[in-house]
Amino acid sequence: MDRIALLLVALVLGGCANGYMQFYHPYPGATPEAISKMRASPPPVNPQVEHIASINQSMFEHYENLGYVPIGYSSFNSGQQQSDNNAIEQGRAVGADLIVIANPRYTGTETRIVPITTPTTSTSYSSGTATAYGPYGIVNAYSNGITRTYGTQTTYTPFLVHREDYGAVYFFKRHYVFGALARDLNDAERQSLQTNKGVVITTVVNDTPAFNSDILKGDIITSINGKAIADGRDFVSVLKANTNTGHPMTFTIIRGTQHIEKSIQLETH
């Protein structure tokens, strides 16, 4: 019986679904069509896998600096052990270049009950004698009988399930023509600069034209090729319009109290 119980418990726990696939959530706008236009190369057969203690903002900033953009994430709690292979399977499905898997975090133990039904058989034996008297003497008859009854018996076996939080984020490697991300000026910056125009660099991606030209986080770009940059949308529009021209672009930058001009050749796309 103990062996049967252990086998059934193993079957209950072993037939687990892929939680990374079941609880996957894409980030807004991360459609296959949009990603295919931005990625640096086709998705690999075997995505790179890295492990991290927990998923947090600094993790996203770290991989953003390396040129990775998140596609989506998986987050769930399960009493069924989930292997890295499950996350890799989901990563392949969404075309990830990199999968960052959070170390599972224990959240508690619960008791479950598994019913185990086994067949039963009961056997009863009977015997008897009979005596008959007739004109020719006495006759004795003897009989033996066996009766079997078939049924089932159900026992309820408790077992412990350890639950854990699981999580993973899926990234693709983006191709950058410039290699820096920017935001609009805030109110304090507009007051300080006495202008509403310009963008602030928030991220510089390694090994890109911006990185190699020493654009720094916190730089304020006020114009490109003499054209004032109104905001983040205008910044992206100007970069797109000058991609593949083959000519370097002149960036006017405020860095602290300095006004700097840099000539930067964009990557082709």
Do 165 and 51 share a domain, yes or no?
yes
CB atoms within 10 A of CB 16: 15
pLDDT, residue 204, reads 97
> Is there a single domain that holds both residue 167 and residue 247?
no
pLDDT confidence tier of residue 142, bands split at 50, 70 and 90: low
Name the band, by pLDDT with cuts 50, 70 and 90, for residue 120: confident
Q: Where are the beta strands (DSSP E) in the chain?
A: 24-26, 48-52, 68-78, 98-134, 137-173, 180-184, 199-204, 220-224, 227-228, 249-255, 258-264
pLDDT band for position 110 (cuts 50, 70, 90): confident
- For residue 195, the domain's CATH number is 2.30.42.10
Q: What residues have CB less than 8 Å from 167, skipping those under 6 apart? A: 55, 73, 74, 75, 76, 101, 102
User: In 3D, which of 173, 207, 179 has the Cα closest to residue 42?
Assistant: 173
Measured CA to CA, the distance from residue 49 to residue 245 in angstroms comes to 37
Using DSSP's 3-state secondary structure scheme, residue 57 falls into helix
- Alpha-carbon separation of residue 259 from 155, 184, 200 (angstroms): 81, 19, 14
Assess whether 133 and 163 both reside in one domain: no
Selected residue with higher pLDDT from 132 and 266: 266
If one compares 146 and 166, the residue with the highest pLDDT of the two is 166
Give the pLDDT confidence score for residue 84 in this predicted structure: 97
Which residue, among 117, 118, 119, 115, has the nearest Cα to 149 in the 3D structure? Answer: 119
Q: How far apart are CA 164 and CA 161, in angstroms?
A: 10
- Per-residue pLDDT at 3: 54
Is pLDDT of 264 > 90? yes
Three-state DSSP class for residue 192: helix
Q: Is there a domain that residue 188 lies in? A: yes
Q: Could you say which DSSP state residue 34 is in?
A: H
* Length of the chain counted residue by residue: 269
Query: Do strands 227-228 and 199-204 pair parallel, antiparallel, or not at all (unpaired)?
Result: unpaired
Asked if residue 83 belongs to a domain, the reply is yes
Residues 194 and 259 in one domain: yes
pLDDT in the model for residue 1: 47
Question: Range of 32's domain?
Answer: 2-112+157-173
Same domain? 198 vs 139: no
Look at the block and give the residue holding tokens 């009979």. 130
Q: What is the pLDDT of residue 44?
A: 96
| 54 HSE (CA, 13 A, CB side) | 5
Q: Do 103 and 230 sit in the same domain of this protein?
A: no
Per-residue confidence (pLDDT) for residue 226, from 0 to 100: 94
Q: Tell whether 49 is covered by a domain.
A: yes
Number of domains the chain is built from: 3
Same domain, 35 and 75: yes
The confidence score (pLDDT) of residue 11 equals 47
Residues 52 and 167 placed together within one structural domain of the fold: yes
Domain check: are 44 and 161 in the same one?
Answer: yes
What tens digit of pLDDT does each residue of 160-215 get?
678 999 999 999 999 999 999 999 999 999 999 999 999 999 999 999 999 999 99
In a domain, 189, yes or no: yes
- pTM of the full structure: 0.73
* Residue scoring higher pLDDT (78 or 141): 78
Mean pLDDT of 210-223: 98
> pLDDT value at position 155?
76
Higher-pLDDT residue of 157, 119 = 119
Higher pLDDT, 199 or 11: 199
Average model confidence (pLDDT) for the chain? 87
Tell me if 269 is assigned to some domain. no
* Residue labelled with tokens 């079997």: 148
Among candidates 5, 12, 10, which has minimal Cα distance to 118? 5
Interstrand relation of 180-184 and 137-173 (parallel, antiparallel or unpaired): unpaired
**Whether residue 79 sits in one domain with residue 106:** yes
Residues 138 and 43 in one domain: no
Flag whether 106 is in a domain: yes
Residue 100 lies in a domain: yes
Is residue 94 domain-resident?
yes
Per-residue pLDDT band for 119 (boundaries 50, 70, 90) equals confident
Q: For 46-100, what is each residue's pLDDT tens digit? A: 999 999 999 999 999 999 999 999 999 999 999 999 999 999 999 999 999 999 9
Instruction: Tokens for 40, please give them.
Output: 């640096």
> Lowest-pLDDT range, 140-144, 185-189, 233-237, 263-267?
140-144
Q: Quick one: 5 exposed, middle or buried, by C-beta within 10 A (0-12, 13-18, 19+)?
A: middle
Same domain, 161 and 149: no
